[in-house]
Amino acid sequence: MIAIDWGTTSFRAYRLDPAGRIVDARSAPAGILSVEGGDFAAVLEQHCADWIAAGETQIVMSGMIGSRQGWLEVPYASCPAGLEEVAAGMRKVAWKRGEAWIAPGVTCRDDAGVPDVIRGEETQILGVLDQLGAGRHTICLPGTHSKWVEVDNGRIARFSTHMTGEAFAVFKGHSILGRMMKDGVTDRNAFADGVRRSADDGGILHHLFGVRSRGLFGELPDSASASYLSGLLIGHEIHSAGTSGRTVHLLCTPQLADVYRHALDVRGLESSTLDSNAVTHGLFRLASRLKK
Amino acid sequence: MIAIDWGTTSFRAYRLDPAGRIVDARSAPAGILSVEGGDFAAVLEQHCADWIAAGETQIVMSGMIGSRQGWLEVPYASCPAGLEEVAAGMRKVAWKRGEAWIAPGVTCRDDAGVPDVIRGEETQILGVLDQLGAGRHTICLPGTHSKWVEVDNGRIARFSTHMTGEAFAVFKGHSILGRMMKDGVTDRNAFADGVRRSADDGGILHHLFGVRSRGLFGELPDSASASYLSGLLIGHEIHSAGTSGRTVHLLCTPQLADVYRHALDVRGLESSTLDSNAVTHGLFRLASRLKK
């Protein structure tokens, strides 16, 4: 089968053997926003032509390909959602060379009734449940929009999204704070200072101004400013997400896992790193539940 | 005398009579960042030529004109700072047509030792102390960088800056949230919803994503989205600044005072509005303390 993680900016395809092992993989900057005229079938056939010619005609996809801007809008499954519930929400798209399916995202509401959504992460979660076992677990998927997911006995119980990565980008790129920044996030000590600062009184809007005022007073070098800002925002994310004392399982690239592990460590919290190739395993498990 | 509020983007000058009453006023988009070659004296003489010709040769200024990018960098006075302390920090600039003075900003450190600064607002505060009387008072000066100032028996005891206005601008202008926004801050109900939302668990980085997810679910119209975001950010500012149960005295334009009064009201807090022409009174009081 062919497993595809098709997001906003990237397209990642994997050829899996009957046991779900990756036998070939490729990626392209062919995210859904780059697909001209909405001809997703053409992009798929272009990038996977040899696999299809070799007889792979079952395709399972997840990510923003199932959003309003994608191939077909697949309605969200509601929490609690495990393998059964996500598989039940899969939709088949029109594709004449074989069977192509898209996984749904998942939605939940927080205590105040405000909705939240994931799309793509649910499949990664399904791919790591075997590693986690039964019981309750906290999984963090850091990024532009970080997701904190509570799993309870193999199902996604609830989750929250935090705009941490995007907040960093807009404050660095477009606010007065960015004007003084000379380097990227390279200073581990300044990063840790930012994480510690997030635990102080005053709130994030006040802490942000401190990036500038500490710079004005020569207490934060321009070269350390972006690192401090990153630590500050990630520290606030960790504090707000809440871990209930459980180990935080990080599901992301090794680089991001390093950053978050450092922040969690500064806050005295346990962490572990999950296999970041989880999406193929999740797609394989979903494929096994499809009606023949 | 001539009183000048000279900020980053604007220049506001007032001719005061010997009792401190405004007899003439003018403003120009001649903020310090627009002054070519740093010739501040030329800009001053251009805009106040007739007043100077009429014999006004004492000039007192406040605002960013005293910053590193201004006419002369005037060191900050430290909290607690009242009329005596701010007056003692005034510096005279070289100006051959008369005497021109610049007020210092004020600095303090929060409980964690992180510095904060105001420059210009201290003079406005000095101008409203008569209205407030003795005792402890909380003053809020909303804006791009909102200032919350605690006054204790006529002196600025401490304050905190919150990047609320700038956060609104960068999220509206440069994040995924802005893409769905159709109107400005015009919907009072959505604004109040945002203020109420700020009191929920989850943290601001999560609440921000709710602007998008509520939109996705049709629970927040695009036309109300900017209003909701504004209420959310101002609500977080008010919560973090803390009012200790005291009336919040608003010192700003009538338009901004309306917005903040609404937010404070939603959170069940008392507010009052101070005379927004406070800066001339503050500059007049400072002038009275200058060594002849």
The predicted-structure confidence for A6-26, as pLDDT tens digits, reads as follows 999 999 999 999 999 999 999
- Distance from C-alpha of A126 to C-alpha of A13, rounded to nearest angstrom: 18
As a whole number, mean pLDDT of residues A167-191 equals 94
Say if CB B165 and CB B144 are below 8 A apart.
yes
Count other Cβ atoms within 10 Å, centred on residue A244: 7
pLDDT score recorded for residue B36? 87
Q: Which residues of chain B neighbour A173 with C-beta distances below 8 Å?
A: 174
CB-based contact, B180 to chain A, within 8 Å = no
pLDDT score recorded for residue A28? 96
As a whole number, mean pLDDT of residues A28-48 equals 94
CB-based contact, B208 to chain A, within 8 Å = yes
Within 211-230 of B, beta carbons closer than 8 Å to A belong to 213-214, 216-217, 219
Q: Which residues of chain A neighbour B111 with C-beta distances below 8 Å?
A: 200-201
**Nearest-by-CA chain A residue for B107:** A213
As a whole number, mean pLDDT of residues A60-82 equals 97
pLDDT score recorded for residue B138? 97
Q: Do A203 and B240 touch (CB under 8 A)?
A: yes
pLDDT score recorded for residue A292? 52
Say if CB B38 and CB B55 are below 8 A apart.
no
What would the two tokens of residue B47 be? 């805009």
Specify the pTM: 0.94
Torsion of CA B184, B241, B258, B223, to 10 degrees: 20
- For residue B35, report the phi and psi dihedrals to the nearest 5 degrees: -85, 110
* pLDDT, mean over chain A: 95
Tell me how far CA of residue B32 lies from CA of A175, B72, B146, B166, B257, in angstroms.
19, 11, 20, 20, 26
CB-based contact, B119 to chain A, within 8 Å = no
Strands of the A271-273 sheet, one edge to the other: A155-162, A146-152, A136-141, A248-250, A271-273
CB-based contact, B182 to chain A, within 8 Å = no
Say if CB B43 and CB B56 are below 8 A apart.
no
Strand partners, B146: B162
Q: Tell whether ipTM is more than 0.85.
A: yes
User: Which one-letter DSSP state was computed for residue A170?
Assistant: H
- Distance from C-alpha of B288 to C-alpha of B228, rounded to nearest angstrom: 46
As a whole number, mean pLDDT of residues A177-184 equals 88
As a whole number, mean pLDDT of residues A208-225 equals 96
Which residues fall within 8 angstroms of residue B176, CB to CB, at 6 or more apart? A166, B212
Q: Do B209 and A163 touch (CB under 8 A)?
A: yes
Q: Which residues of chain B neighbour A194 with C-beta distances below 8 Å?
A: none
Q: Does residue A192 have a pLDDT over 90?
A: yes
Contacts 24+ apart (CB under 8 A), A17-26: A20/A280, A20/A281, A20/A284, A20/A285, A22/A277, A22/A280, A24/A51
Kindly state the percentage of chain B with pLDDT values over 90. 92
Say if CB B208 and CB B228 are below 8 A apart.
no
Q: Do A170 and B166 touch (CB under 8 A)?
A: no
Tell me how far CA of residue B285 lies from CA of B63, B147, B280, B282, in angstroms.
16, 22, 9, 5
Q: Which residues of chain A neighbour B219 with C-beta distances below 8 Å?
A: 115
**Nearest-by-CA chain B residue for A242:** B202
Q: Do B205 and A174 touch (CB under 8 A)?
A: no
Within 136-175 of B, beta carbons closer than 8 Å to A belong to 145-146, 160-164, 166-167, 170-171, 173-175
pLDDT score recorded for residue A245? 82
CB-based contact, B240 to chain A, within 8 Å = yes
Pick from A177-191, B47-61, B143-157: least confident: A177-191
Tell me how far CA of residue A1 lies from CA of A10, A13, A18, B267, in angstroms.
20, 10, 8, 56
pLDDT score recorded for residue A291? 64
Q: Could you report the per-residue pLDDT of B43-83, keeping only the tens digit for each?
A: 999 999 999 999 999 999 999 999 999 999 999 999 999 99
Pick from A84-93, A243-252, B232-241: least confident: A243-252
Q: Do B110 and A167 touch (CB under 8 A)?
A: no
Within 53-112 of B, beta carbons closer than 8 Å to A belong to 110-112
Size of interface A-B (CB pairs under 8 A): 141
Q: Could you report the per-residue pLDDT of A226-285, keeping only the tens digit for each?
A: 999 999 999 999 999 987 789 999 999 999 999 999 999 999 999 999 987 799 999 999
Q: Does residue A60 have a pLDDT over 90?
A: yes
Q: Do B213 and A117 touch (CB under 8 A)?
A: yes
- Distance from C-alpha of B28 to C-alpha of B246, rounded to nearest angstrom: 37
Q: Do B236 and A170 touch (CB under 8 A)?
A: no
Element (H, E) at A2: strand A2-6
As a whole number, mean pLDDT of residues B108-130 equals 96
Q: Does residue A287 have a pLDDT over 80?
A: yes
As a whole number, mean pLDDT of residues B238-265 equals 94
Q: Do A161 and B206 touch (CB under 8 A)?
A: yes
Kindly state the percentage of chain B with pLDDT values over 70. 99
pLDDT score recorded for residue A242? 82
Closest of A143, A13, A8 to residue A63, by C-alpha: A8
Q: Does residue B274 have a pLDDT over 90?
A: yes
pLDDT score recorded for residue B180? 85
Closest of B6, B250, B249, B62 to residue B142, by C-alpha: B250
Of A174, A176, A240, the CB nearest to B205: A240
Of A111, A174, A202, the CB nearest to B174: A174
- Distance from C-alpha of B188 to C-alpha of B105, rounded to nearest angstrom: 35
Q: Does residue B292 have a pLDDT over 60?
A: no
Q: Which residues of chain A neighbour B240 with C-beta distances below 8 Å?
A: 201-206
Handedness of CA A227, A229, A233, A238 (dihedral sign): positive
Say if CB A65 and CB A25 are below 8 A apart.
no
- Distance from C-alpha of A1 to C-alpha of A52, rounded to nearest angstrom: 9
At B134, the amino acid letter reads: A
Q: Do B233 and A205 touch (CB under 8 A)?
A: yes
DSSP collapsed to 3 states, chain B: CEEEEECCCCEEEEEECCCCCEEEEEEECCCHHHCHHHCHHHHHHHHCHHHHHCCCCEEEEECHHHCCCCCCCCCCEECCECHHHHHHCCEEECCCCCEEEECCCEEEECCCCCEEEECCHHHHHHHHHHHHCCCEEEEEECCCCEEEEEEECCEEEEEEEECHHHHHHHHHHHCCCHHHCCCCCCCHHHHHHHHHHCCCCCCHHHHHHHHHHHHHCCCCCHHHHHHHHHHHHHHHHHHHHCCCCCCEEECCCHHHHHHHHHHHHHCCCCEEECCCCHHHHHHHHHHHCCCC
- Distance from C-alpha of B139 to C-alpha of A133, rounded to nearest angstrom: 54
Q: Do B204 and A206 touch (CB under 8 A)?
A: no
Kindly state the percentage of chain A with pLDDT values over 90. 92
- CB contact burial A199-227 (16+ within 10 A = b; e otherwise): ebebbbbbbbbbbbbbbbeeebbeebbbb
* pLDDT, mean over chain B: 95
- Distance from C-alpha of A285 to C-alpha of B3, rounded to nearest angstrom: 74
Q: Does residue B233 have a pLDDT over 60?
A: yes
Q: Does residue B39 have a pLDDT over 80?
A: yes
pLDDT score recorded for residue A243? 75
Q: Do B170 and A171 touch (CB under 8 A)?
A: yes
pLDDT score recorded for residue B183? 83
**Nearest-by-CA chain B residue for A212:** B116
CB-based contact, B233 to chain A, within 8 Å = yes
User: Which one-letter DSSP state was computed for residue A245?
Assistant: T
Say what angle helices B164-174 and A164-174 make with each other, to 10 degrees: 100
Pick from A215-219, A239-243, B145-149: least confident: A239-243
Closest of B151, B110, B140 to residue B238, by C-alpha: B140
pLDDT grade for A40, boundaries at 50, 70 and 90: very high
Closest of A114, A93, A113, A112 to residue A104, by C-alpha: A93
As a whole number, mean pLDDT of residues B211-230 equals 97
CB-based contact, A180 to chain B, within 8 Å = no
